[in-house]
Structure formats: C-alpha cells, structure tokens
Amino acid sequence: MDPQTPDHPPDWLAGLGSRPCRYYRRIGSTNDEAAAWALAGAPSGAVVLAEEQTAGRGRRGRAWVAAPETSLLVSVILRPAVSPEALPRLTLLGAVAVAEALAAEGLSPGIKWPNDVLLEGRKVAGILAEVAWSGDERSAVILGIGVNIRRGALSEAAAARFGATTVEAILGRAPDRGGLLLRLLERIDCWQARLSDEALLAAWRQYSVTLGKRVTVASGEGVVAGVAEGVDSQGALLLRTDDGSVRRLLAGDVTLHGNGL
C-alpha cells in the first residue's frame, strides 16, 4: 500500500513539538498508515492522526465510525522489547493511558475488559493494538486509539445502539483535544517503559469496572457466563464459571449483568 501524503498539522497539534507525526484530514485507517510508516522505519513513539477515517477499524472486525473533527483518532507506533506473550498488555496499557488522561480532566473513567474505556457506564474510547509484521518478524506494535470527544462524534441512534457517549456530553464542555492527546501520549510513554511492571496491572485493576462482577463473555469460542475474578500477567480475563472452574479468556466482548453494556 502506498502511503498517502500527510496534510499540514493544525495548531492544536503544536504541543507535539519534535515528536514524529503524520496528520491527515481524511484517511482509511490510522492503524494502516502507522503500520506502513513503521515498516518504512518510523521511530518508536511516532504518531499518526486523522480527523476522519473512511475505514476505521475496531476489535473483532468491526468498523469504528466517527464524524469528522469530533474525535481523537490516533495510532502510536511502539517498538517494545518484550516477548510475544506480553503483547496483550499493550491493550491494557492503552486503556490505562486513556483512563488516566480522562481522569486528569476531572472525569471518573472505568475500563471494561479488555479495552473499552467508559464514562458513566457508556463507552467513550476503544483501543486496537495490532502487530506490524515485516515477513515473519514483528516490526512494531500499532496502538490505535479512538476517543469520542465532541457530541457529534456519533449519531444519537448509534450512541444508543452501542451504549456510547462522548467526553463533551459527560464533561459539559468540549475538552482541548491537543491537551488530551499530549497527556495520553505522556502516559503511554511512561507505561511503555514499565510494560512488565506489576504496577500496570494494578493501575488497570484500579479503573476496572469488570472485576468482581457477574458478566457474560462472547468470544470466538462461544458465550460463557461467570464472575470476573481477575486478570493475569498477560491481560487474560479469569472467569469463575457456574460449575466452579476458572476459564482464562484472551479475547471477547463482555456484558456486565444489570448494566446491559
């Protein structure tokens, strides 16, 4: 895939300083562009941003749709020196970094395993971590993050259908996207250096709205219900099922009972 020529970055990105950045008014997916740039040699920490995606991706093959100029649509190129087994922790890292950036705005975010960031029980952000492969070698990890910032980010129908919200709707004003982005990148940098630390899991647990709850998890292996007892060092969910056994789940969609989300 040929990379698209970046647009001139707007003023709200001035705070990025010398961090390598490619900004697009409109692009397919920032994750795809970041993967192409990573393979072409982009350094760790480089970011791809867009005002609009025409092929934005969510987890499990879903589309990620946001109206132009209403969201943070960002992909961060990371080159973590960790074993493949530790890679799922990058998803947790992304969720913790978003939660911390929102908490710094005075909000009270929660994380629904594995990667949904919630405000007042509704999804405000999602994380999609993907590996950029160069042949058989892992070239980089692309940490794709979408945050619904402004009220118009998604239609009322979509918000109701997906149980979604925006930062503006909860905060009562639109936050400064540039400031939120800088805080988010600062938290990603910080946690990337501590990817193997227990502290990352502790931070994730602190924001978790899943642990201790009765949940249903839908995954490629079917639907299973139980109590979410913990996450292990790889970020897998440990689910105590009704027969008393513990299932270890690496991926899936969680429904919290009594909440509907």
| Least distance between ligand BTN and beta carbon 207 (Å) | 16
State which residue, 76 or 239, has the beta carbon closest to ligand BTN: 76
State yes or no: residue 129 binds ligand BTN (CB under 6 A). Answer: no
State which residue, 29 or 210, has the beta carbon closest to ligand BTN: 29
CA neighbor of 227 nearest in space, from 208, 241, 237, 217:
241
Calpha distance 104→149 (Å, rounded): 15
Calpha distance 250→55 (Å, rounded): 25
Residues 6+ apart with CB under 8 A from 194: 200
Q: Which of residues 41-100 bind ligand BTN (CB under 6 A)?
A: 53, 56-59, 62, 64, 73-75
| Least distance between ligand BTN and beta carbon 195 (Å) | 20
| Least distance between ligand BTN and beta carbon 260 (Å) | 17
State yes or no: residue 23 binds ligand BTN (CB under 6 A). Answer: no
State which residue, 145 or 237, has the beta carbon closest to ligand BTN: 145
State which residue, 168 or 227, has the beta carbon closest to ligand BTN: 168
Residue 176 has a CB neighbour count (10 Å cut-off) of: 14
List the alpha helices (DSSP H) in the chain. 30-39, 88-103, 156-162, 167-171, 177-192, 198-207
State which residue, 64 or 191, has the beta carbon closest to ligand BTN: 64
Q: Which of residues 134-193 bind ligand BTN (CB under 6 A)?
A: 144-146
User: Which residue is at the shortest CB distance from ligand BTN?
Assistant: 126
- Look up residue 233 and give its two tokens: 């060092």
**Binding residue for ligand BTN, selected from 95, 124, 128, 231, defined by CB under 6 A:** 128
Distances (CA, A) of 111 to 69, 84, 126, 242: 25, 23, 10, 24
Measured distance between the N- and C-terminal CA atoms of the chain, rounded to whole angstroms: 37
Task: Give residues in contact with ligand BTN (CB under 6 A).
Answer: 29-31, 53, 56-59, 62, 64, 73-75, 116, 126-128, 144-146
